[in-house]
Amino acid sequence: MTEPVTLLEALTAAAMVSALTWAIGRWAGRGGCWVWCLAVGLGFYLGLAILGVRPRWPIREDQDRFLGLVLPGILAAEAVCRSLKTPSRLGAAARLVAATAVAPVLLHGSSYVVDHAGPGSAEWPSAWRWLIFGGLGLATACNWSGLVWIQTRSGSAVRVLVALATAALGAGLAVMLSGYASGGLTALPLAAAIVGASIAASFRAEAPDTAPGVGLIGLEGVLMMGAFFGRLRTAEAVVLFLAPLLAGIPEAYPLSRLGPRFRTVLGVGLTACAVAAATATTWRRFAADAVGL
């Protein structure tokens, strides 16, 4: 079990390093998305290191694939795609590909997709498997496009990101309370790194300088690990997954007439309410029947 002090140290370090990296990048005249990805990546992996979590080699488990393949992959993809200013259709296609790849990577070799006990013993028959992967990918890509739209429409560099960090924090806690403590733990430094970089970015950054993809794929990965390898319920996972979209509600009339800062606070607050509801549900279930180890 992780000591609270160690956890606090890890989260503080993740937030500070990501904020400093962003600030140094801006001070050196290096704006843009790749600095954002570098800042979040450095903060996140430093936080994990303090927690004593690292992907093991050779990669064998979902958590190794999440930390060693999925997150580095999306950090690199976001940095390259956004820095090259790819056309919107190409960007949407890239998002769909990246979003669809997460489930097969995380579930690789598991009893969902592999016939461990003889032919036809996998939990998901072949046709179902691709339907599920496609559905999850499409849902993630739609969510991603929605977040990009909110970010562009609001003009805020941080609203979507803080909403994502809030959802990641809630997802981490919910997964920890759903019988997969180490899986949920990985979401906490990710949330801290995003918040740190977002606070630094809130001073001078433009929306295109930051990228929601890292936070969203991180959120998706943690929820998938909790739902498929832990005992996180589907309804709670869906609420946590969709919660960041609530940050877009203040863009609807008549709320859109409010000031930008108030809209940002309102958007993040709505997300936080949904996240708190889902996390409280898992907490109640945990408290009701937990004796635990």
Partner 1 sequence: MLKSGLLAVATILGGQSGARAADTYSIDPAHTSATFKVEHLGLSWIHGRFNDVAGEFRVDSANPSSSRFALTIKSESLDTANKKRDEHLASPDFFNAKQFPVVSFKSTAVKAVEKGLEVTGDLTLHGETKPVTFLLTGGKTAEFPPGVHRRGYTTHLKIKRSDYGMDKMIPAAGDEIHIEVSFEGVKS
In the bound complex, what is the minimum distance in angstroms from residue 123's beta carbon to partner 1? 8
291 counts as binding partner 1 under rule CB under 8 A: yes
247: DSSP letter = G
Which listed residue (31, 68, 104, 179) binds partner 1 by CB under 8 A? 179
Q: Between residues 60 and 85, which has the closer beta carbon with respect to partner 1?
A: 60
Cis geometry, peptide bond prior to residue 260 (ω within 30 degrees of 0): no
**To the nearest 10°, the Cα dihedral for 166, 147, 220, 235?**
80
63 counts as binding partner 1 under rule CB under 8 A: yes
CB atoms within 10 A of CB 260: 12
Q: Between residues 1 and 5, which has the closer beta carbon with respect to partner 1?
A: 1
76 counts as binding partner 1 under rule CB under 8 A: no
Say if CB 253 and CB 229 are below 8 A apart: no
In the bound complex, what is the minimum distance in angstroms from residue 270's beta carbon to partner 1? 32
100 counts as binding partner 1 under rule CB under 8 A: no
- Find the helix or strand (DSSP H, E) in which 213 lies: helix 213-224
In the bound complex, what is the minimum distance in angstroms from residue 226's beta carbon to partner 1? 9
Total residues at the site for partner 1 (CB under 8 A)?
27
Instruction: Tell me the helices (H) and strands (E) count for the chain, helix number first.
Output: 12, 0
d(CA 233, CA 283): 12
289 counts as binding partner 1 under rule CB under 8 A: yes
**Please, which of residues 190-249 interact with partner 1 by CB under 8 A?**
225, 228-231
290 counts as binding partner 1 under rule CB under 8 A: yes
Q: Between residues 107 and 148, which has the closer beta carbon with respect to partner 1?
A: 107
117 counts as binding partner 1 under rule CB under 8 A: yes
158: DSSP letter = S
Cβ neighbourhood burial of 104 (10 Å; 0-12, 13-18, 19+) = middle
In the bound complex, what is the minimum distance in angstroms from residue 287's beta carbon to partner 1? 11
